[in-house]
Amino acid sequence: MTGGPTRDAIAALTERESHRVAVVLGSGLSDVARSLTGGNPVPYADIAGIPVSRAAGHEGALYSGEVAGLATLVFAGRVHLYEGHDARVVTSAVRTAATAGCDTVILTNAAGGINKGLQVGDPCLISDHLNLTGHNPLVGAEDARPHFVDLTEVYSRELRTIARSLDPGLKEGVYAGLVGPTYETPAEVRMLRTLGADLVGMSTVLEAITARALSLRTLGISIVTNFAAGITGEPLSHDEVKEAGKKASERLGSLIAGVIERLR
Ligand code: HPA
């Protein structure tokens, strides 16, 4: 895989030969990295091939630790299309995870709730997605990977079943991924609902496609940080998103740790 750090470089930085699981943390969710791994972050700025996130609420550091005996790589913060990066750069965490030896990736994000059955502050499993970014990370990929990747089950049913066994009340929904950086208009949110979306955000879909292309099992978890535009009539703010993400971090951290503990 081109561009990212080599397996040896990751091993030297993390003092672990290889990793089994990767976790990518979205807006306001960086606290989960410390609770999962116990700390010792390496700033992305010190790692050649990992882009530095400039979005507020994204720490921009790599953590490594043992979770239930499995070596786990945690990306606290990611970069986005709206920062001006292309689809390959945006998916670098997932490619780095594959290089590090991971066979499972847990993608998290902050999302707006479209389905009124969701509650602000709750985690919601991603059952499927609508890639409405107009981008695809496999366009022009230099690797000898197939382009025509099957996306019938992007988000592993098996991993979702494990997550629900830990928290039976967990909801599932379809995540619509848009470019941003603006939030949606109420008309766009009505359109997204008509298209079958339950959640909306500005990340995850390209990473999930890359994960499938690299045969990584993927679990997607959104934290509903707000209701999408027009649903309550209240204006949206990034501070509210970050705050709700922070509040949900403890619950998200235990859910992720529980899933990793049950991985085979
Ligand atoms: N829309 C898009 N992205 C988001 C939202 C939203 O309402 N909330 C958090 N990320």
- 202 in catalytic set: yes
C-beta of 244 in contact with ligand 1 (< 6 A):
no
pLDDT tens per residue across span 61-105: 999 999 999 999 999 999 999 999 999 999 999 999 999 999 999
C-beta of 183 in contact with ligand 1 (< 6 A):
yes
pLDDT tier, 254 (very low <50, low <70, confident <90, very high otherwise): very high
Query: Measured between alpha carbons, how far is 176 from 243 in angstroms, rounded to an integer?
Result: 22
- 63 in catalytic set: no
pLDDT tens per residue across span 131-188: 999 999 999 877 656 688 999 999 999 999 999 999 999 999 999 999 999 999 999 9
User: Quick check: 2 pLDDT over 50?
Assistant: no
CA 255 to chain centre: 14
Question: How much distance in Å is there from the Cα of 60 to the middle of ligand 1?
Answer: 20
More confident residue, 55 or 130: 130
179 contacts 202 by C-beta, under 8 angstroms: yes
Out of 78, 185, 200, mutate this one to test ligand 1's pocket (max ligand atoms within 8 Å of CB): namely: 200
Q: Per the residue annotation, which of 1, 19, 22, 27 is the catalytic one?
A: 27
- 226 in catalytic set: yes
pLDDT tier, 248 (very low <50, low <70, confident <90, very high otherwise): confident
Angle at 111 between CA 251 and CA 179, to 5 degrees: 145
- 83 in catalytic set: yes
Ligand 1 atom closest to 229 (CA):
7
C-beta of 111 in contact with ligand 1 (< 6 A):
yes
C-beta of 200 in contact with ligand 1 (< 6 A):
yes
87 contacts 206 by C-beta, under 8 angstroms: yes
- 27 in catalytic set: yes
- Kindly state the tokens that stand for 216: 């990584």
Whether the CA torsion 224, 229, 233, 239 is positive or negative: it is positive
Of 1, 29, 7, 37, nearest in space to 203 by CA:
29
Q: Per the residue annotation, which of 58, 207, 213, 229 is the catalytic one?
A: 58
Question: How much distance in Å is there from the Cα of 201 to the middle of ligand 1?
Answer: 5
Question: How much distance in Å is there from the Cα of 228 to the middle of ligand 1?
Answer: 7
